[in-house]
């Protein structure tokens, strides 16, 4: 299980870096749909992996984040 958690940690860090880069681009005014979708996919990947390794708090947090990003994608919030 330790090896699986190590792989999860590595993958999560990569996805978090991608999310951070995307969010910083959005903060600077870049708000195209592809960028928002990439951030959503990164959150979705973390959520799925957290579920597999039974980390419910991370899974729940990223689910909430997905909902927020989905609302942005649907122009329900800005």
User: For the chain, which domains are there?
Assistant: 2-73 (1.20.120.160)
Query: What per-residue confidence (pLDDT) applies to 23?
Result: 95
The predicted pLDDT at position 1 comes to 84
SS3 state of residue 31: coil
Supply the pLDDT for residue 46: 98
Q: Residue 78's pLDDT is what? A: 82
What is d(CA 69, CA 44) in angstroms, rounded to the nearest whole number? Answer: 10
What digits encode the pLDDT tens for the residues 7-65? 999 999 999 999 999 999 999 998 889 999 999 999 999 999 999 999 999 999 999 99
């Amino acid at each position: 299980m330790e090896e699986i958690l190590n792989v999860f940690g590595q993958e999560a860090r990569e996805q978090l870096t991608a999310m951070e880069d995307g969010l910083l681009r959005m903060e600077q005014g870049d708000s195209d749909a592809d960028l928002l979708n990439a951030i959503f996919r990164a959150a979705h990947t973390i959520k799925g992996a957290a579920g597999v390794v039974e980390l419910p708090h991370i899974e729940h947090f990223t689910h909430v984040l997905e909902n927020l990003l989905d609302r942005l994608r649907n122009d329900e919030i800005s």
